[in-house]
A = this chain, B = another copy of it.
Amino acid sequence: MAVRLGELVAALGGELHGPVHQLVHRIAPLESGDAGSIAFLSNPKYRAQLLTTQAGCVIVSPAVLEEAVARGAAIVTADPYLYFARLTQWWAERVRPRPAAGIHPSAVVDATAVIGQNVHIGPLAVVEAGAILEDGVIVGPHCTVGARARIGADTRLAPRVTIGFDCVVGARCLFHSGVVIGADGFGFAPHQGAWEKIEQLGAVRIGDDVELGANTCVDRGALEDTTIGNGVKLDNLVQIAHNVHIGDHSAMAGCVGVAGSARIGKHCTVGGAGMILGHLTLADHVHVSSGTLISRSVLKPGLYSGAFPFDENANWEKNAATLRQLHALRDRIRTLEKQVKS
């Protein structure tokens, strides 16, 4: 890969301070960039890095323009992080050509499946009866698209993604390897000490521009559908239980779990290993810190936390032991207060 700065700015905008013919061979962090690299600075508080970076060109905001041009080429833009994101997209399109349209001869595609224009179905994939793949869909090796499932235009399934029967996926989604859409929700009626299965008769509906990380699961609903809004981003190993609704543009980091029938608003975020209990409501713009268990509804936007602060083991042991008597300590304080008062 070798791109001229002028070509980048022509494609992505920004104000170039430097030679249009200067070549860029890679995108790199400021710390490790060399003369053939383009790097970015999004947080002005790290502007000191501009003094030491070897990167041939830096993407910066107007606030640091002076330092940036003092050291070499620069592209100035209002939001360098966004510019960087778009640069990676532009770059990826060039270094990772999309697989050619067509169905690999080893794939098993039912004759009743409806396959759009310019669809790629990789080796050893399975597409079941009545499934619909809209134009430009990419189905990786070892994927299964279940009966009557529908995959929206330009959605990409990485190798080994499983889409259950009757599930619906929007356009321009990206699901990573190991994703399971439409396994049964976890529903049982207790009966004489055993569990009687509640068959899960709903499906899963996923909006447009959704990204799901590796080995993430979204279960089908019991009676109605589990739904995931447009622009939602879920990281790896996330568990979305049956009948959950996730609002548009919410994002969740790795190892998060959302229990059955929870309703998550729009523009929410959940940090790694956060856990949302069932049948709760989270308003729009609720943010949950890593490792926090949300045990009742949160109707006010804001940041909510609840992780135990870690410590050296010996300190933790003492504090944890005392914690088990915390309520008793409170009573002792009350008693003291009365005694002191009297």
Q: Which residues of B contact A191 (CB under 8 A)?
A: 79, 82, 85
Q: Which of A207-263 contact B (CB under 8 A)?
A: 209, 211, 213-215, 217, 219, 222-224, 231, 233, 235-237, 239, 241, 249, 251, 253-255, 257, 259
Q: Which residues of B contact A253 (CB under 8 A)?
A: 186, 259
Q: Which residues of B contact A249 (CB under 8 A)?
A: 193-195
What is the minimal beta-carbon distance from A104 to any residue of chain B, in angstroms?
7
Q: Which residues of B contact A323 (CB under 8 A)?
A: 308-309, 319, 323, 326
Given A162-B178, A188-B233, A323-B319, the answer on whether A312 and B308 have CB atoms closer than 8 Å is no
What is the minimal beta-carbon distance from A183 to any residue of chain B, in angstroms?
4
What is the minimal beta-carbon distance from A27 to any residue of chain B, in angstroms?
6
Given A257-B254, A257-B273, the answer on whether A88 and B124 have CB atoms closer than 8 Å is no
Quick check: is A294 within 8 A (CB to CB) of the other chain? yes
Copies in the complex: 3
A-B contact pairs, 26 of them (CB 8 A): A27-B201, A29-B224, A88-B198, A106-B108, A123-B126, A142-B160, A144-B159, A160-B160, A177-B183, A178-B183, A178-B217, A183-B214, A186-B254, A195-B249, A213-B219, A236-B239, A289-B313, A292-B308, A304-B313, A305-B310, A305-B311, A306-B307, A307-B308, A307-B320, A336-B337, A339-B340
